A and B are shown apart, each in its own frame.
Chain A
Amino acid sequence: MTRPPMRNTARQTTLALLVVAALAALPLFLGTYEVDLVAKILVLAIFALSLELLVGQTGLVSFGHAAFFGLGAYTTALLLQDPDPRSFWLVLAAAMAMAGLYALPVAALSLRTRGVYFIMVTLAFAQLVYYVFHDTKVAKGSDGIYLTGIPQFSLAGWVPFDITKSLPFYYVALVLLCLVYAFLASLGASRFGRALAGIRANEQRMRAAGYATYPYKIAAFVIAAMLAGLAGFLKATRDGYVNPEMLAWHESGAVLLMIILGGLGRLRGAVIGAFAFVLLQEFFKNDAVFGDFAKRWQLLLGITVIACVLLLPHGLVGLSAQLRRRGNRDG
């Protein structure tokens, strides 16, 4: 569901700033494992936000978004095979550029199809890249590759920290998340963003009004892909390792689930969804709670996915409104 341009902007911005402040303060209270976990969520939140632009804003359900995430990660890994450090900014730009470069022909071809075809075709194009990395010698196949070098985060010659370390990475990820969020918020309220929302709401009317909808959709697709590539770059940087499973359709499914879980049509839904998904997964894998059954966390996840679609049509973001409506009906 798409809302008209933002209301209560002042209240929303204050809320957002509070959340950012809380996230910034988090490492002071948590141990390294938790900090790393939250950092992982922050990266996935960027990934989820990128898909939200495509699915939530433009209404294009892509089941192959992991391809761009993985391309960003692999570009990073392949550029960092030398022990000599490379510029953080250069590698980041390259990762985003590669993702965008593949997105262009994929978008041009996929967007010639609609509905279910589009879903299947995006999945197929992601498989294409998966097989490139899994079967061919481009990157050591299914074993994956380790990063030998590191991206050097420098500002005008000054290297403030090693970005592959826990705390610096956390803050860089947080800042990037905020930048991506702000960018997408601004984009959403801009003419381009409103046009995308219109295309989602009724493409026929948009075309009748004079919008060439195909280029708009391609642009949305490529931007979403580049942002996914950014997330992939971060993941590769932190993990120091990439493998083809990052491009598997399970990843595409997971990120789709994140934005549904959080709530489609809202940027914060993507962030909330990323948190909810990872925390749920951690919960299900926790053998203190589930004992031996923790090995079967996929079963619980599957049930959760189904329950979420059936019971939370507007995701967690829409939950309060949903409960309110239920309350009004009963009361």
Chain B
Amino acid sequence: MAEILLAARGITRTFGGLVAVNGVSLELERGAVHAVIGTNGAGKSTLINILSGELPASAGSVELLGRDVTRLSQPSRALLGLGRSYQRNTIFPHFTVAENCRLAAQARRQRPWAVWESAARCADAMPRARAALERAGLADDAERLAGSLPHGRKRQLEIALCLATQPRVLLLDEPLAGMGAEETERMLALLAQLKPDHAILLVEHDMDAVFRIADRITVMVNGTAIASDRPDDVRANPDVQRAYLGAGH
């Protein structure tokens, strides 16, 4: 029986008269990658922002680890085990790679009133940060300034920052954005490694990568999910072929 870590039901979001997301439901299982694909303007960004808590839904519910988080803010969901990476890096460029992760890891045990304790000596955050760096393959870059990393490694750091808070669910927004072939391979290998312990939502444009790694694909067109199936079934789906993949595929 699959362990459902995140369940979204009937997510709808309107902006004035515009319906950006229309009744989308999906589930994220532990050990599976669920990809969401669609053309620009299909509502993918809006959907992921609603799941992460950055945008309130007009209707529908979000359940994280069995708990209704629909009204919870993003930081609250993060503390419950939701991690998110962004299409544009949200790293701290002027801090070292290690400090980047330490700061993210510190979120689990913030203790803001302890003004006499130096953060760098914090015994709980540093190990978690190092573990995240190891997983993301950045252990050797720990003392480099994050802003000096090449683009591919910055994207890896973006993932490491998610992992530093030890989330159960990962929402990844175009992690492959701007990557060359070699970097893409490395990132896909990383995602494959992360799969067993996490439930992953992947928004991506790189179709080859999506079909390689996804266990389930939801296709969005104009805010509606027109298909949500295993990759082969999605590929064979005539509606999807018509609306999105085009004759060339």
State whether the Cβ of A86 lies closer than 8 Å to any Cβ in chain B: no
Whether the pair A207, B75 counts as a contact (CB closer than 8 A) is yes
Can you list 20 A-B pairs with a CB-CB distance of less than 8 A? A5-B99, A5-B118, A191-B122, A193-B115, A195-B103, A197-B95, A201-B94, A201-B95, A202-B90, A202-B91, A205-B92, A206-B103, A207-B74, A207-B75, A207-B78, A208-B86, A209-B107, A209-B164, A210-B107, A211-B75
Contacts of A30 in B (CB 8 A): none
| Interface size of A as a range | 20 to 34
Assess whether A298 is interfacial by the CB under 8 Å rule.
no
Contact assessment for A186 and B116 in the assembled complex, using a CB-CB cutoff below 8 Å: yes
Is B59 positioned at the interface, with any CB of A under 8 Å from its CB? no
Which of B's residues lie within 8 Å of A, judged by CB? 52, 54, 73-76, 78-79, 83-84, 86, 90-96, 99, 103-104, 106-108, 110-120, 122, 161-162, 164-165
| Also in contact, A209 and B165, with CB within 8 A (given A5-B99, A198-B103) | yes
By the criterion CB–CB under 8 Å, are B99 and A210 in contact? no
Say whether A213 faces chain B, with CB atoms less than 8 Å apart: yes
Closest chain-B Cβ to A202's Cβ sits at a distance in Å of 5
**Cβ–Cβ contact B115 & A192, under 8 A:** yes
What residues on A are CB-neighbors of B91 within 8 Å? 202, 205
Assuming A1-B94, A5-B120, A189-B120, is B113 touching A210 (CB within 8 A)?
no
Residues of A within 8 A of B94 (CB): 1-4, 201
By Cβ-Cβ distance, the 9 closest A-B pairs, closest first, are A210-B78, A210-B107, A205-B90, A192-B112, A209-B107, A201-B92, A210-B79, A209-B104, A194-B119
- Chain A residues engaging chain B, CB cutoff 8 angstroms: 1-5, 183, 186-187, 189-195, 197-198, 201-202, 204-213, 216, 219
**Chain A residues within an 8 Å CB radius of B111:** 191
The reply to whether B112 and A198 contact each other, CB–CB distance below 8 Å, is no
The answer on a CB contact under 8 Å between B112 and A195 is yes
Specify which of A187, A190, A198, A216 lies most central, judged by the most chain B CB atoms within 10 Å of its CB: A190
Write out the residue numbers on chain B whose beta carbons fall within 8 Å of the beta carbon of A212. 73, 75-76
In the bound complex, do residue A189 and residue B119 qualify as a contact, i.e. CB atoms below 8 Å apart? Answer: yes
Chain B, residue nearest A205 (CB): B90
Residues of B within 8 A of A211 (CB): 75, 107, 110
Residues from chain B with Cβ under 8 Å of A208 in the complex? 52, 74, 78, 83-84, 86, 90, 161-162
**A216 / chain B contacts, CB cutoff of 8 Å:** 112
Task: Look across to chain A and name the residue whose beta carbon is closest to the beta carbon of B103.
Answer: A198
